[in-house]
Structure 1
Amino acid sequence: MNKKFSFLLVLVLALSTFLAACSGGGEKAGSDTKKGSSEGKSADAKKEQVLNLIATSEIPSMDSTLATDSVSFNVMNNVYEGLYRLGQDNEPTLGMAAEEPKVSEDGKTYTFKLRDAKWSNGDAVTANDFVFSWRRAVDPATAAEYAYMLYDVKGAEEINSGKAKPDTLGIKAIDEKTLEITLKNNIPYFKSLLSFATFYPQNEKFFKEQGKNYALEANTGVYNGPFTLSDWKHEQSFQLKKNPTYWDNAAVKLETINFNIVKDTATAVNLYETKKADRAALNAEFVDKYKSDKNFGTSPDTSVYFLRLNEKNKVLANRDARKALDLAWDKKSFVDVILNNGSKPAYYLVPDKFAVGPDGKDFRETNGDLGKLDVEEAKKLWAKAKKEAKFDKVTLEMLNYDDDNSAKISQYLKEQLESNLEGLTVNIKPQPFKQKLDLESKGNYDFSFAGWGPDYQDPMTFIDMFVTDGAHNQMGYSNPKYDKLVADAKGPLLSDLDARWKALLEAEKILMDDAAISPMYQRGTAFLQREYVKGIVEHPFGGDFGYKWAHIE
């Protein structure tokens, strides 16, 4: 996910909240801890079902068709619901679908019966709500970055490229409660896709009533999930309330979830200490202080952070220059000293312990590490790049988030790169989350600190990011062989899963050999959480956290 994105885990470093998708995501989107609500509730009210959390960023978007980041996806995961949602065991469980679908023999046609569910304004959730939403997502006039997520649906790619009309998409409302979906290929991860935000329904009548104001405020959105967005003070706080019209309302214990937007870890920890927050993410300086605390915890994650190297820059267009940048900084020391939170150095794109192949082996186990620290080689490649790209000194601007943890990360990288690559000056450009995403989307940067959380449980959710002109490529990278491997893995190789897996493995190797990105780390989280907070579900892909089953004990 700019994500993606991806369904991930509970609160992380403030910097981890910034993922693109699931894409992209600090602490995980939305799971940071929070101060008392705008109503002044405190964490002492343990008998009340009120959870106080901290978010490290404003919500960039509440429109499920347009959202691209983990902060938005985390909130959406709790106020909206698709045909499926990820359950307590992180397997897709029935949401708006009343029962498992009927599937045609060729695996390409799914017929769903919808349950009797309502939107928060009392309107019934109908099959047309899915038809409207999906057609809107692939309509080129919408310009949705995540339109490609629907390309497995028949006609989606043709519509999105302007070669067909939206009403030819392979989705049909047979009646108000019967939905038929026709796929281009029989894909193995379709269920997990259907729990992702781009596949959520949208109330067409309400959407048209709101016009350009749709989902810009709490009261210009309508919700069909366990909670509603009841209050939204931009750049300050937001609040979720239990949704009385939700079909499974009896399973929801929390009455209120308050999020306070705090970008500074020391402030977040102070809110926790003063009992105004029930959870706080910790950065390196607080881990040693609190690691013996009974409420201290760490959690692994499937989000991967990396440096985007924009090839629109004439220096970064040179492979040797990019390779030098990747080899010139110490990822292990970075993780051990700067992060110190359970993260691990990444020499890859697809995370460890995320996806298992037809041979039963983890993707990471098969491909191994695809990089290393080698300062001497970096210096040689940098000298070579100077001759090839005709420069002696160069200033590169690093686009970054504006929270305190990200500032420490950028200072570390600046020192390492400037020390090891003669003639390089790194200027740091911190930006609020939403503005940073916009600059990346427009390609207005030299290199940037970025991250990606998976949107569904398959390596493709990482690999297809970097196809030529892909919506999330955002750095001008292009390799025809890479593109072909991705296209084959999405099409003809779906009938040969062994060959498909090998294509994905090879694609990652090409990406790393081209030094298209400089991988940084696979996120881990360190946090403090009150002992009475129970039942938060950490998701390995899609929206980071599920609060449907959370409660105060």
Structure 2
Amino acid sequence: MNRQQNLAIGMSFAAMGIMACGGGSKVPVPLDATTAPPAAVTFDPESRTIVVGVTSELIYEDPWVASPFTLSGYLNGIVNRPLYAIRDERLIPMLAADFPAVSTDGLTYAIPIRPNMTWQNGDALDARDFELGLRRSCNREFGRHSAHVLVNVEGCTNAYEGSREVVEVGVRAVDSLTLQIRLIAAQPSFPSILALPLAYPAPDERLESTESVWPTIGEAPCSGPFCVAAWVE
């Protein structure tokens, strides 16, 4: 999980270039993209970078803030991966090592995390990063697209609404490879929620708390097969 490829983004005269991973050996489009047609796609094998020209300006946002229906949200879906994914209406592990172990009362989920994962800078990607990510999803500043989906997680609604009744958010890393989530009531469909962007990891070694601002393009962490390298106008 540590072989991420580069995404570089360039914009000139209403044309944007996105660089990502792919195959082929075409000559790469210059980042100013002034002579390239919109939606041109080329691959630079030396830098393992794909250049894609589009006709939209990018406002790159925190993955917890960006709407999935914007270019920024789409880009975040490329460079990040959640715990699970849904394929052909079936749940499959992504960054989770297996399916959750559920307590007999259905209230506690123990999720095994894949070992030996790293962020693009070499920092360990483990259960603590998923704890921080889910806590961000319950944070008043960043949970606008996710807190309502996690109402059944202990303390999530209280945290998002800033309730005077302090209830600890029911998410914690038991150890580096085990994430525990506590629910208010049994919810058999809960694992499918962990296939949403709200289950992205957030680098606990880069962000000091749930209130920390997400890094900008070129510095933003990535947990998927691509990394945003640059935005050039």
Shift of 1:37: 5.7
The CA distance in 2 between the partners of 1:47 and 1:204, in whole Å, is 33
- Residues 146-171 of structure 1: per-residue CA shift (max 9 Å, x gap): 222221212211222222447x1111
**1:113 aligns to what?**
112
**Cα-Cα RMSD:** 3.2
- Given residue 139 of structure 2, which amino acid in structure 1 is its aligned partner? D
**1:92 aligns to what?**
91
2:203 aligned with 1:203? yes
**2:20 aligns to what?**
none
Q: Per the alignment, do residues 149 and 57 of structure 1 end up closer, same or farther by CA in structure 2, a change over 3 Å counting?
A: farther
Shift of 1:55: 4.3
User: Does the CA-based 8 Å contact 1:68-1:145 persist in structure 2?
Assistant: no
- Given residue 82 of structure 2, which amino acid in structure 1 is its aligned partner? G
Q: Per the alignment, do residues 188 and 125 of structure 1 end up closer, same or farther by CA in structure 2, a change over 3 Å counting?
A: same
SS in 2 for 1:180: strand
The CA distance in 2 between the partners of 1:43 and 1:61, in whole Å, is 21
- Given residue 144 of structure 1, which amino acid in structure 2 is its aligned partner? G
Q: Per the alignment, do residues 55 and 190 of structure 1 end up closer, same or farther by CA in structure 2, a change over 3 Å counting?
A: farther
- Given residue 58 of structure 1, which amino acid in structure 2 is its aligned partner? E
The CA distance in 1 between the partners of 2:81 and 2:129, in whole Å, is 12
Larger radius of gyration, structure 1 or 2? 1
Shift of 1:129: 1.1
- Residues 21-50 of structure 1: per-residue CA shift (max 9 Å, x gap): xxxxxxxxxxxxxx9462879657699976
User: Does the CA-based 8 Å contact 1:213-1:220 persist in structure 2?
Assistant: no
- Residues 115-163 of structure 1: per-residue CA shift (max 9 Å, x gap): 12111111111211122222233233x2531222221212211222222
The CA distance in 2 between the partners of 1:157 and 1:213, in whole Å, is 21
**2:180 aligns to what?**
180
**1:492 aligns to what?**
none
SS in 2 for 1:130: helix
User: Does the CA-based 8 Å contact 1:77-1:197 persist in structure 2?
Assistant: yes
Matches within 5 A, 1:109-258: 109-116=108-115, 117-140=117-140, 142=141, 144-146=143-145, 147-163=147-163, 164-165=165-166, 168-208=168-208, 214-217=214-217, 219-233=218-232, 236=233
SS in 2 for 1:204: coil
The CA distance in 2 between the partners of 1:191 and 1:157, in whole Å, is 19
**1:68 aligns to what?**
67
Shift of 1:61: 4.0
Matches within 5 A, 1:348-387: none
The CA distance in 2 between the partners of 1:39 and 1:194, in whole Å, is 39
2:31 aligned with 1:38? yes
The CA distance in 2 between the partners of 1:221 and 1:101, in whole Å, is 29
* Larger deviation, residues 114-123 vs 50-59: 50-59
User: Does the CA-based 8 Å contact 2:42-2:51 persist in structure 1?
Assistant: no
SS in 2 for 1:206: coil
**2:78 aligns to what?**
78
The CA distance in 2 between the partners of 1:43 and 1:69, in whole Å, is 23
The CA distance in 2 between the partners of 1:188 and 1:93, in whole Å, is 16
Shift of 1:90: 6.0
Q: How many residues align?
A: 195
SS in 2 for 1:173: strand
- Residues 2-39 of structure 1: per-residue CA shift (max 9 Å, x gap): xxxxxxxxxxxxxxxxxxxxxxxxxxxxxxxxx94628
- Given residue 66 of structure 1, which amino acid in structure 2 is its aligned partner? V
The CA distance in 1 between the partners of 2:153 and 2:30, in whole Å, is 42
SS in 2 for 1:38: coil
The CA distance in 2 between the partners of 1:39 and 1:91, in whole Å, is 42
- Residues 425-459 of structure 1: per-residue CA shift (max 9 Å, x gap): xxxxxxxxxxxxxxxxxxxxxxxxxxxxxxxxxxx
Shift of 1:186: 3.0
User: Does the CA-based 8 Å contact 1:73-1:197 persist in structure 2?
Assistant: no
The CA distance in 1 between the partners of 2:119 and 2:89, in whole Å, is 25
The CA distance in 2 between the partners of 1:55 and 1:44, in whole Å, is 13
User: Does the CA-based 8 Å contact 2:96-2:114 persist in structure 1?
Assistant: yes
The CA distance in 2 between the partners of 1:184 and 1:196, in whole Å, is 20
The CA distance in 2 between the partners of 1:135 and 1:64, in whole Å, is 14
The CA distance in 1 between the partners of 2:207 and 2:104, in whole Å, is 36
TM-score calculated relative to the size of structure 2: 0.70
The CA distance in 2 between the partners of 1:159 and 1:45, in whole Å, is 45
Higher helix share: 1
The CA distance in 2 between the partners of 1:185 and 1:45, in whole Å, is 49
- Given residue 72 of structure 1, which amino acid in structure 2 is its aligned partner? S
- Given residue 228 of structure 1, which amino acid in structure 2 is its aligned partner? C
User: Does the CA-based 8 Å contact 2:113-2:126 persist in structure 1?
Assistant: yes
The CA distance in 2 between the partners of 1:74 and 1:90, in whole Å, is 21
- Given residue 220 of structure 1, which amino acid in structure 2 is its aligned partner? E
Unmatched runs of 5 consecutive residues or more in structure 1: 1-34, 237-553
The CA distance in 1 between the partners of 2:103 and 2:226, in whole Å, is 35
The CA distance in 1 between the partners of 2:162 and 2:220, in whole Å, is 29
The CA distance in 2 between the partners of 1:181 and 1:37, in whole Å, is 47
Shift of 1:196: 1.3
**1:249 aligns to what?**
none
The CA distance in 1 between the partners of 2:196 and 2:212, in whole Å, is 24
Matches within 5 A, 1:457-496: none
Matches within 5 A, 1:253-292: none
